[in-house]
Structure 1
């Protein structure tokens, strides 16, 4: 047994945590191992700008509604976030992304969501980031503004009353900001769930429309929040432009009918996003990877809603946007979908692979255009073989069959055929809920795929047995 003095701690931390001999979740050279198959792409490192992921499995941002709503610690992360996010890092994920964090105080989804609009919030983020990185993972943060979906309560609060709700408005006494919920458009007709004032089931506030001056200020706030993230030691930044939050609201003709330079044409509707990307990119080091999450479709095609508003945001729009991103400094496109209107024609909790197929379609379009942009696949990725095949050459052909949505299936298959059926569907996988069920999911996937990976030093005695 090695003497205790050889149990070295991670340097530059104010507390002791052992320095793992090999970073958990990375394949280990072992000539005695019975695992002889080639290492799948899923467990190969990936370098993006100045950062290297130890494998291709990323913890996607997950709202936890667990920060203070009042007082000096409002919006600041807590030890709860070290306990949860840190455990995902300890168990082998390559990048752990902190949940949607408001670039302005009124940009939070709920009063209990984190933010990064104030320098006072930097130390708490640094504490979380430092622990994540001490376990060999990269730390990330998703910067966001909730727009008209802001000032709501935690879901378990909404569902606990006499009238059960999916969403419940946060009043001022709960830390909310009823009078300062904003969006591209204003008025009662813009309430997200379509309900009216006085309806006991209404779950959202009526927003007020942002002025051009407020938009310009907010763009600067994105850049300032990004600078704070870098100061806190965060490795990767993601811009949240999906799920019906503010940037998505500007992208879609369903929610953006402005008549100034931020509304109308495709170029005008993407203007806010382009300005945010530009501001964030110039506010962070060249070595810092910049991700973007979008809703690739609103699932409103061919609906009365789309007809009423002259269209919706579609996969074709996402492809058009994606082709602009490399020149703007985006390194990875995180492909999600939905969330901008309650009338969407899909249940996201039942859509196990549609987003992945759309990711493949976008990736193929970029390949055909000779453009380089990493693509992330997200959405109910739960199985080892599923995660492996998304990233493998030829894996697309295996996955693209038997889908319930014939049109998505047809278009995705056509996209894959354009690249001779050999291209992967994505470059990384982002996993959320499965990590909440199984924090050790990376280690379990490696075991199921027959990949010999390093385990955390403290957990070696309970390592999965050899297959």
Structure 2
């Protein structure tokens, strides 16, 4: 299977300790200097009037700071594959050439700034029925009307999410068109200089809407049993895999459980991961939830890592763990106990964009710093 083209590279360390966090890893032809990575985080900072979907200087600063801080891999925010796939009017996209050029500026900056030869990947996404909503710091909630740069969302069905405006159920032609949009976005990702691509199939967005039996009640070839509900995700994987180089790894973010009886669970996610591997996915980025409101999620440190561990144990894929992972010791424990192959950070990275340099100090590992910052690393006993 294509997913077997992975080397987990255990046992080689950068520093004087046997730190798992600072062990190199290779996915296809992409060499990662260690296993501490940046999770996709929406910034809602594109200008919906002047340049819809185009990444800005904010994105350059936001992503560049993690490269300077020692992250081995950075994933962009969810980047829409077409205009109606944006979560909000302020979301970034990768569906036209202007956006592609703006992303290229950012990938070049990250590659030139990283203290550890940082890699950067784009997360390709479509929000489905969760599109055209207000961004978190707008002071407003719900769906954005057309008078405020909004649009009608589309989805697996015409059922709305938690008070949002009702979407339009996608036709066969629209489903095939969105597969083509993912493929075209993959083309732009390669031209923009990204090192890897992640497909977003989690958090209640379009692909997850088709995957979850709680949402997908279609009776055609795109709904029904698990195989049919997986069809869109697998077709998107095929389309993207066909457009990126053989040596470029393909990542897939999933919600491993819907946290509601009758929805997706760990076992169904293992089956999806196996199918994804057969279609060319190299790593599963394991998150959870988001398909339907009202789920009781036991949020706490590492609350999603059991799902990552099961997928890792029962498939040939590498996995990334995410979700309230904040300390070097916690990350080290998850890797040392075989619960994951890599650690995605979100809030912890926002709080400390140099988290990886601090973690290396705490774990006694040697991590190269950008030369402009080396004076801060000189006296490691007083970080």
Length, aligned pairs only: 367
Work out the CA distance in 1 between the residues paired with 2:27 and 2:293. Answer: 36
Mapped to 1, the partners of 2:14 and 2:273 lie a distance apart of 36
Q: Tell me, yes or no, if the aligned pair for 2:251 and 2:283 is still in contact at 8 Å.
A: yes
* Deviations 1:263-321 (CA, angstroms, capped at 9, x unpaired): 001010000001000000001110111000000000002xxxxxxxxx21111110111
The two structures, once aligned, show a CA RMSD in angstroms of 1.5
> What is the Cα deviation at residue 168 of structure 1?
2.7
Post-superposition shift, 1:173?
Answer: 2.8
CA distance in 1, matches of 2:376, 2:312: 39
| Structure 1 unpaired stretches of 5+ | 1-25, 30-35, 162-166, 196-203, 302-310, 367-371, 396-423
Return the alpha-carbon distance in structure 2 between the equivalents of residues 70 and 229 of structure 1.
Answer: 24
Conserved 8 A contact 2:303-2:324: no
Shift of residue 175, structure 1, vs aligned partner: 1.4
Counterpart of 1:23 in structure 2 is none
**Do the aligned partners of 2:14 and 2:23 also contact (CA within 8 Å) in 1?**
no
1:214 equivalent in structure 2? 174
Contact 1:378–1:431 (Cα < 8 Å) also in 2: yes
In 2, distance between residues paired with 1:28 and 1:207?
50
- Post-superposition offset of 1:28: 6.2
Q: Distance in 2 between the 1:316 and 1:55 partners?
A: 29
Measure, in 1, the Cα distance between the counterparts of 2:147 and 2:103. Answer: 26
- The equivalent of 1:365 in structure 2 is 314
Structure having greater relative contact order (Cα 8 Å, sep ≥ 6): 2
- Counterparts of 1:20-59 in structure 2 under 5 Å? 36=16, 38-59=17-38
**Shift of the alpha carbon at 1:117?**
1.1
2:272 to 299, 316, 321: 321
- Relative to the length of structure 1, the TM-score reads 0.76
SS in 2 for 1:41: coil
Output aligned runs, 1:220-239, within 5 Å. Answer: 220-239=180-199
Cα distance in 2 for residues equivalent to 1:175 and 1:266: 36
Is the deviation greater in 445-454 or in 80-89?
A: 445-454
What aligned pairs does 1:44-443 form with structure 2 within 5 A after superposition? 44-71=23-50, 73-134=51-112, 135=114, 136-157=117-138, 160=139, 167-177=141-151, 180-186=152-158, 190-193=159-162, 195=163, 204-301=164-261, 311-346=262-297, 350-366=299-315, 372-392=316-336, 395=337, 424-443=338-357
Once the two structures are TM-superposed, the CA of residue 27 in structure 1 deviates from its matched residue by 7.1
Determine the structure 2 residue equivalent to 1:418: none
Match of 1:415 in 2: none
Q: Contact between 2:73 and 2:118, CA under 8 Å: does it hold in 1?
A: yes
State the Cα deviation string for residues 419-463 of structure 1 (Å, max 9, x = none). Answer: xxxxx1110011111111000100111111111222221112222
Mapped to 2, the partners of 1:60 and 1:144 lie a distance apart of 14
Aligned-partner Cα distance in 1 for 2:302–2:350: 20
